[in-house]
Amino acid sequence: LDHFTSSSSSSTFLERYCVYSGYDIYTPPDNQAEGDETDKNNNPIFFYVGNESPIDEYVNNTGLMWELAPKYNALVIFAEHRYEGESVPN
């Protein structure tokens, strides 16, 4: 995988990630009619761009993400840093 050479290569690689949706709670507005789905979940997404280590080493040790997510009903996503852990391009 080469990001610096101009080529028509379409190389890809698998990147590990972790998604936690336990805090991503949808609460419909008080004035929403039953069955009306026009107002979708508008909660934030907290995205953590990985440390230079495998995802297993930091996903449960990143306090701020886990402290703020319940307060904001956020979806939490962690991405593993490229070339670390199992996220290694060929």
Q: pLDDT (tens digit, 9 = 90+) per residue, 35-77? A: 666 556 678 999 998 777 788 888 888 889 899 999 999 999 9
> pLDDT over 70 for what percent of the chain?
59
- 10 compared with 62, residue with greater pLDDT: 62
Specify the pLDDT at position 70: 94
Q: What is the rounded distance in angstroms from the CA atom of residue 45 to the CA atom of residue 35? A: 25
- 1 compared with 47, residue with greater pLDDT: 47
Q: Specify whether the CB–CB gap between 46 and 68 falls below 8 A.
A: yes
Kindly tell me if the per-residue pLDDT of 9 is higher than 80: no
The radius of gyration computed from the CA coordinates of the chain, to the nearest angstrom, equals 18
Q: Is the dihedral of CA 67, 70, 74, 78 positive or negative?
A: positive
List strand residue ranges (DSSP E) for the chain, in order. 17-20, 45-49, 75-79
For the question of whether the overall pTM of this predicted structure is more than 0.85, the answer is: no
